[in-house]
């Protein structure tokens, strides 16, 4: 038998009787994926899926942190619209960016985080790369630490924390553990518990801090408390890893929102900073962020960058251009930067006024509960204090969607829904 005939016979033998056009589901060979079990829905985007499927016309989505205008619509910042025009006029090409991203973008991004006068920047001691928004930035940092960190290779994350931190560190080969953060009794920071935890975890651990606007609680340490954590980290030689997703978005002032990161650097720490431009520029879908390690010498920067490029190349090769172009225009052009500062202040102010309005509406509904934590918290979210069964009830009976821990995106409240949300919150908590 010729070689061709033999191979034809072999291949036909492996198909069901109906032959090559038969359906794949009827194939008798067991699937290589047969053992795969259903995974849990994402704690944040899973809420969005459930919301989408709900037919209730009154439904309200407070689950995912995405800013909405007062009438509930997605909002494009005026400075972004202007930058879009400039970028389109420049008629750029669609070539690959370098593996580490657009150099001009990396420069303006890290300047925003560390400050133009930062000694680190003046001395060229930053290793900064473009990333796929904040998640991508954390992922790069974690992957690098997973390969090269010589200290205790465990990430300590706050309890509670953003629903994706655990995932990102785990998938980077770094096990995570909690440190105490939030005190449900005071609905505030458990300063004593957190200090004690940071003191008793193994030396040289990776400690993940939310640089500003803690997600999900909206509870931030005071400058004095930050100072104390910086000192503990120095004594214990912990490695501070800052997740900075809300610079400018929290207080309306990007300089103020960067204080914790800059304090740690001034205190002599080497740090990681994961920046996102999703919230403060409203560029959620553009997936634009930056990741920085501070280093001790320029030679070290070069070596760390060389390894980080290998990490990036293996993950996604090189980053996308559009968001980087927009942000380079905005932060690199004094006029547009000024407009952005106004825009971001407007976002922060509207969120603060929504907090106020929600508390007033709850009072109007007749709620006797103390809701002052809603106005005391900062940033995109409020940790309402709703218990898991109250969350289930508010979703089932009122179609007001939030994450299972009772977090609501204040930035999604507005005139059309604020009274309804207050009514629902009162109904499930009275």
User: Which residue number, 64 or 304, has a Cβ lying nearer to ligand LMR?
Assistant: 64
* Of the candidates 395, 419, 418, the residue with the CA atom closest to the CA atom of residue 406: 395
Name the minimum Å distance from CB 65 to ligand LMR.
Answer: 3
Q: Which of 176, 190, 226, 243 is catalytic?
A: 243
Which alpha helices (H) appear in 26-164, and where do they start and end? 45-53, 78-90, 103-114, 119-122, 133-148
In the block, tokens 């072999």 appear at: 10
User: Which residue number, 127 or 402, has a Cβ lying nearer to ligand LMR?
Assistant: 402
Binder among 106, 215, 251, 417 for ligand LMR (CB under 6 A): 215
243 is known as an active-site residue:
yes
Asked whether position 273 contacts ligand LMR by CB under 6 A, the answer is no
User: Which residue number, 149 or 401, has a Cβ lying nearer to ligand LMR?
Assistant: 401
User: Which residue number, 65 or 414, has a Cβ lying nearer to ligand LMR?
Assistant: 65
Asked whether position 44 contacts ligand LMR by CB under 6 A, the answer is yes
Name the minimum Å distance from CB 50 to ligand LMR.
Answer: 14
Contact 113, 243 (CB under 8 A): no
Asked whether position 64 contacts ligand LMR by CB under 6 A, the answer is yes
Backbone angles phi, psi at 126, to 5 degrees: -105, 140
340 is known as an active-site residue:
no
CB proximity list for 328: less than 8 A, separation 6 or greater? 102, 104, 105, 108
In the block, tokens 């200090």 appear at: 195
162 is known as an active-site residue:
yes
User: Which residue number, 75 or 162, has a Cβ lying nearer to ligand LMR?
Assistant: 162
Helix axes 78-90, 322-332, angle to 10 degrees: 110
Give the whole-angstrom CA distance, residue 290 versus residue 84: 20
Give the whole-angstrom CA distance, residue 154 versus residue 180: 16
- Convert residues 120-159 into a mask of x (bound to ligand LMR by CB under 6 A) and - (unbound): ----------------------------------------
Give buried/exposed letters for 213-224 (b at 16+ CB in 10 A, else e).
Answer: bbbbbbbbbeee
Q: Which of 82, 236, 279, 423 is catalytic?
A: 279
Token pair belonging to 50 = 């459930």
Binder among 161, 164, 213, 367 for ligand LMR (CB under 6 A): 164
Instruction: Please give the positions annotated as active site.
Output: 162, 243, 279
Query: Which residues of this protein are in contact with ligand LMR, per CB under 6 A?
Result: 44, 64-65, 162, 164, 215
């Amino acid at each position: 038998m010729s070689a061709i005939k033999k191979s034809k016979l072999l291949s036909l033998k492996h198909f069901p009787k109906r032959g090559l056009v038969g359906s794949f589901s009827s194939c008798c060979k067991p699937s290589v994926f047969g053992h795969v079990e259903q995974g849990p829905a994402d704690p944040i985007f899973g809420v969005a899926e459930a919301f989408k499927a709900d037919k209730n016309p009154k439904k309200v989505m407070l689950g995912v942190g995405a800013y909405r205008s007062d009438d509930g619509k997605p909002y494009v910042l005026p400075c972004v619209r202007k930058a879009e025009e400039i970028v389109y006029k420049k008629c750029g090409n669609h070539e690959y960016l370098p593996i580490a991203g657009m150099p001009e973008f990396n420069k303006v991004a890290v300047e925003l985080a560390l400050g133009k006068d930062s000694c680190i920047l003046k001395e060229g001691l930053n290793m900064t790369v473009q990333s796929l928004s904040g998640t991508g930035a954390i992922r790069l940092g974690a992957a690098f630490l997973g390969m090269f960190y010589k200290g205790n290779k465990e990430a300590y994350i706050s309890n509670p924390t953003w629903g994706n931190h655990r995932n990102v560190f785990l998938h980077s080969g770094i096990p995570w553990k909690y440190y105490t953060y939030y005190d449900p009794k005071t609905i505030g920071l458990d300063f004593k518990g957190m200090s004690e935890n940071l003191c008793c975890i193994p030396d040289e651990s990776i400690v993940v801090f939310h640089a500003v606007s803690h997600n999900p609680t909206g509870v931030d340490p005071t400058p004095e408390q930050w100072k104390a954590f910086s000192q503990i980290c120095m004594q214990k030689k912990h490695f501070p890893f800052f997740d900075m997703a809300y610079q400018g978005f929290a207080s309306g002032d990007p300089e103020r929102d960067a204080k914790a990161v800059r304090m740690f650097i001034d205190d002599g720490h080497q740090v990681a900073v994961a920046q996102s431009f999703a919230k403060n520029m409203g560029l959620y879908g553009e997936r634009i962020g930056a990741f920085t390690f501070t280093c001790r010498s320029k030679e070290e920067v070069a070596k760390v960058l060389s390894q980080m490029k290998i990490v990036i190349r293996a993950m996604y090769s090189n980053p996308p251009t559009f968001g980087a172009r927009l942000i380079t225009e905005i932060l690199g052009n004094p006029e547009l930067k000024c407009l952005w500062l106004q825009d971001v202040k407007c976002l922060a102010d509207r969120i603060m006024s929504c907090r106020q309005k929600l508390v007033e509406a709850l009072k109007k509904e007749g709620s006797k509960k103390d809701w002052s934590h809603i106005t005391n918290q900062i940033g995109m979210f409020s940790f309402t204090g709703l218990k898991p069964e109250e969350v289930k009830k508010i979703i089932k009976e009122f179609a007001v969607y939030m994450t299972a821990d009772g977090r609501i995106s204040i930035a999604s409240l507005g005139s059309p829904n604020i009274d309804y949300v207050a009514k629902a919150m009162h109904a499930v908590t009275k």
